Structure 1
Amino acid sequence: MENKMKHYIIQIFLLFTCWFFAIPVEAVTKAEADKAYQEKKYQQAIKDYESLLHSGVSASLYYNLGNAYYRTGNITKAILNYERAALLEPGNSDIRFNLQFARSKTIDRFSEPDEMFFITWYKAIVNFTSVDGWATFSIITITLALIGFLVYLFVNRIALRKVGFFVSLVCLLLFVLSILFAIQQKMAFENRNGAIIIVPTVSLKKTPVKNSVDVVVVHEGTKVNIIDRGIRGWYNVRLSDGHEGWLSVSNVERI
């Protein structure tokens, strides 16, 4: 019994000693990652930004990670992370500029089909700001709508009542639109089907078989949209110019 008690005491002592002398590993901070980037330690910056992304995604982290990859000459990874940043903040002009600039360094030039001008305008409005931006805008507009309605109800002057009524209607409409735009952005993010070619060269196949007929040759950095994931190990994808074909899942990385 005494030996057994001594054994337990030794175990507890060893556990306490290990805990007491353990060296805590501090998590990487964004400031440290930014410092590594500013000091041109791009590989370290990449490692730090990716570590931070494991704790939570943000457009700024993806954007900075894309910049770090670009500095190392990895255009494909830069495009991939710029695309991810653009999904979270579609209205960010810096992200869009860097994405377009990185795309200009790729080989493929697939033209996109023309769309009606009002569709282009609508997309531009929806992507004017992020989901959080539209959420903030909705809070502001519903608050103004409530204030306008209270003015309409309780102010005696006819002119002010008319202004209050008009303001409440306009702000209520803007509130509904901002909620609609936020929902559309959220759905676009959750249902995203974009992917980036990550191998130097690959041929889209007519059918999901290795010796199938080639449809078109694409190169790394090119964006494709996944339209079918039903066959294991294969994606059916569509290029921006409308070409469709099958490729192995190992040839792309999803955005």
Structure 2
Amino acid sequence: MKQFIYILSFLFSFGLFSQNQDLFEKANTFYNDNKYAEAIDNYQAILESGFHSADLYFNLANANYKLNNIAPSIYYYEKALQLSPNDADIRNNLAFAQNMTIDAIDVIPDAGLSKLIKTTTNKLSFDSWATLSVSLVFCFVILFLLYYFSYSTIRKRLTFVGSLTALTFVFITLAFAFHRYNLDKKDNPAIIFVQESKVKSTPNLKSEEAFRLHEGTKVQVVESYNDWQKIKLTDGKTGWVNSEDIKMLNDFK
């Protein structure tokens, strides 16, 4: 019975993949024919099936950009960048889309040691830092064994120094790995998805208006309360917006 279920599951997955491939090619044809709304409908149909890829988000963003849909184009470029962070085409197109936004928000730069640590941490992903740490542990073990079983004084000295160096870098890379993990955990970006959002000082419709944001602006969500989200801007300003005004970038639905 289990084998039969596995076969059905495989056939269903294969059928879904084939259907999505047809939709993707159909959407691309619409896009090339300048029928951007129809292309968007087909790309969205693929997303609704549960399939996600950088190419899909990129093409969906491009179609929205052609229709001057500011928030969706920025949103989907950002989604594509999450899956392919080193893609130059995605970054370039995202920059073009961001030029259509109204809000000009300053960025508070990091300085000194804080900037150095953050820059170094972001060089690698958490998985890459963790993999590097494991590799260094392996090097430490090998060098320590060579030191332990070596009879030559020079070889003992070299392997001892090498093992201590490897161990030191194990702790350093582990520190960067945990720092990257904490940064990723705190990173909760969203895009303003309404033409204009009134940012409140407290999570209440009757509270004082702190400032306003417009579609396409990227914010960080730092807290949630009922139907409200507390956001923070790159210039340090904070406030509360209605949950319906934003779309979370970390949600893959």
Q: TM-score, normalised by structure 1?
A: 0.71
Q: 2:3 maps to what in 1? A: none
Amino acid of the residue matched to residue 236 of structure 2?
Answer: G
Letter in 2 for 1:170: T
Could you tell me whether the CA contact under 8 Å between 1:69 and 1:75 is conserved in 2? no
Q: Distance in 1 between matches of 2:145 and 2:55?
A: 46
For structure 1, which segment, 245-254 or 177-186, has the greater mean C-alpha deviation from structure 2 after superposition?
A: 177-186
1:243 is aligned to 2:232? no
* C-alpha RMSD of matched pairs (Å): 3.3
Gaps of 5+ in 1: 1-19
Give the 5 Å matches for 1:6-155: 24=12, 26-28=15-17, 32=21, 40=31, 42-43=39-40, 44-49=42-47, 51-53=49-51, 61=53, 63-72=54-63, 73=65, 74-84=69-79, 92=86, 94=88, 99-155=94-150
1:6-45: CA deviations, max 9, x gaps?
xxxxxxxxxxxxxx9xx95712279938766765475334
Unaligned stretches of 5+ in structure 2? 1-7, 33-38
Instruction: Give the TM-score normalised by structure 2.
Output: 0.72
Partner of 1:179: 174
What one-letter code is carried by the residue in structure 1 that aligns with 2:158? V
Which amino acid in structure 1 is aligned with residue 242 of structure 2? S
Q: Relative to structure 1, is the Cα distance of residues 220 and 45 closer, same or farther in structure 2, using a 3 angstrom cutoff?
A: same
Distance 2:18 2:170 in 1: 37
Q: Label 1:38 to 1:109 Cα distance change in 2 as closer, same or farther (>3 A).
A: same
| Residues 184 and 238 of structure 1: CA distance in aligned 2, closer, same or farther (over 3 Å) | same
Matched residue pairs, number? 225
What one-letter code is carried by the residue in structure 1 that aligns with 2:189? G
Give the Cα separation in 1 of the matches to 2:160 and 2:98.
Answer: 49
Q: Select between 143-152 and 205-214 the one with higher mean Cα deviation.
A: 205-214
- Matched-pair contact (CA < 8 Å) for 2:61–2:75: no
Which residue identity lines up with residue 245 of structure 2 in the other structure? N
Q: 1:136 to 1:202 in 2, by over 3 A?
A: same
1:89–1:129 CA contact under 8 A, matched in 2: no
Q: Distance in 1 between matches of 2:19 and 2:112?
A: 41
Give CA deviations for 1:114-162 in whole Å, capped at 9, x if unaligned: 3223212211211112222223212221111112112221222333322
Q: What displacement does 1:76 show?
A: 2.5
| Contact in 1 for aligned 2:140/2:166 (Cα 8 Å) | yes
The amino acid of 2:122's aligned partner reads N
Distance of aligned partners of 1:48 and 1:122 in 2 relative to their CA distance in 1, 3 Å threshold: same
